[in-house]
Amino acid sequence: MHTWQYPFLGLRQFPPEVTEFEIHHFFGCNREELAAINTRRGDLHRIAAAVHMGFIKMTGRTLDAFDRIPASVLSFVGEQLNLVAPELSTLRALYRWKATLFEHQSWAAKQLGFSSYVERRQRVLLTQLRREADKAVVFPELLGPSPQRYKKSHSVCTQVMELVA
């Protein structure tokens, strides 16, 4: 993971501005991801699935259903999937049924290798934080993004656990 990605970790919504580079990096899909997205039924569901995957890649968590998706992201995803994307949307607007939204959030996390945040992982995270805190007297900047960096690097998505539970 590159240091320029740290500010995105843990965000609950899109930042005010997302650059073209960031869109390509986070929302660009490889062949395997495209094949998985194309298993979703309906054009809007495919677009939503790609948005889910990209947002999880960017932040390590799922996007809230009512947050606005930037037009630039929708446009890029639509082009990538050879679909006409809406110009303005939220995830909720892309779904007729709330259950499908939650299923897609869980599906996207699973496609990217994220797993539930279980007690065992919490213990590992706390151990890692204690180690970082021990170094904090000499190197306080190490405490910055470490918890989020650990979560993402170990494929932990806490919000998905809440949705699945």
pLDDT tens per residue, range 32-75? 999 999 998 889 889 999 999 999 999 988 887 778 899 999 99
**Cα(67)–Cα(14) distance, integer angstroms:** 8
What mean pLDDT comes out for the span 129-138?
A: 70
**Cα(48)–Cα(80) distance, integer angstroms:** 13
In the 8-state DSSP scheme, what is residue 113? T
- pLDDT, tens digit (0-9, with 9 covering 90-100), for 89-127: 877 778 777 777 888 888 888 888 887 666 777 787 778
| CA dist list (Å): 114 to 73, 127, 151 | 22, 20, 9
Terminal-residue alpha carbon distance, the chain: 29
So what's the pLDDT on residue 99?
Answer: 77
pLDDT at residue 165 greater than cutoff 70:
no
Quick one: pLDDT band at residue 160, thresholds 50, 70, 90?
very low
pTM, whole model, 2 decimals?
0.70
In the 8-state DSSP scheme, what is residue 90? E
